[in-house]
Amino acid sequence: MRINRLDFLAYGHFTGTGFDLPASQPDLHFVYGLNEAGKSTALSAIEDLLFGIPHNTRHGFLHDYGSMRLGATVEGNGGALEFRRRKGTKDTLLSKDGLPLPSGEAALAPLLKGADRPFYARMFCLDHERLRQGGREIL
């Protein structure tokens, strides 16, 4: 799966912003910036987008829980999917128009290829604390 665009519609301290991740060779992107620029928020947003916004999220301080939204365009398995994720317990995966996707979470299944949140976080969402924890586990 490849993320082409990530949108922070109402998430953390972001409202109506996003960025493109254009394909290139090599196809690798680094996100860097000053402290409090939103790097960790972006990392959390990717996890929450793919697996759901947790009930007690730490990113609901500006936007009330009912209005939290993320969006993305992803590609894989020969196709692209543009979707949104809202915070909730049912029908949280939405079309770009904000309507629940008829296939629900199954729309992401071919792109995730069986990866669940813990596996995805361990393999692709490394931050300082997760690197330290991994080192402790190795020891």
Task: Let me know if residue 121 belongs to a domain.
Answer: no
78 pLDDT more than 80: no
Residue 126 domain flag: no
Average pLDDT over residues 96-123: 92
Task: Give the separation between CA 83 and CA 98, rounded to whole angstroms.
Answer: 8
85: in domain? yes
| Mean pLDDT across the chain | 92
The residue ranking higher by pLDDT, 46 or 134, is: 46
Q: Count structural domains, the chain.
A: 1
With respect to residue 50, please indicate whether it lies within any of the assigned structural domains.
Answer: yes
> Residue 29's domain spans which residues?
2-113
Which amino acid would we find at residue 49? L
- The answer to whether 72 and 21 have CB atoms below 8 angstroms apart is no
Average pLDDT over residues 7-25: 94
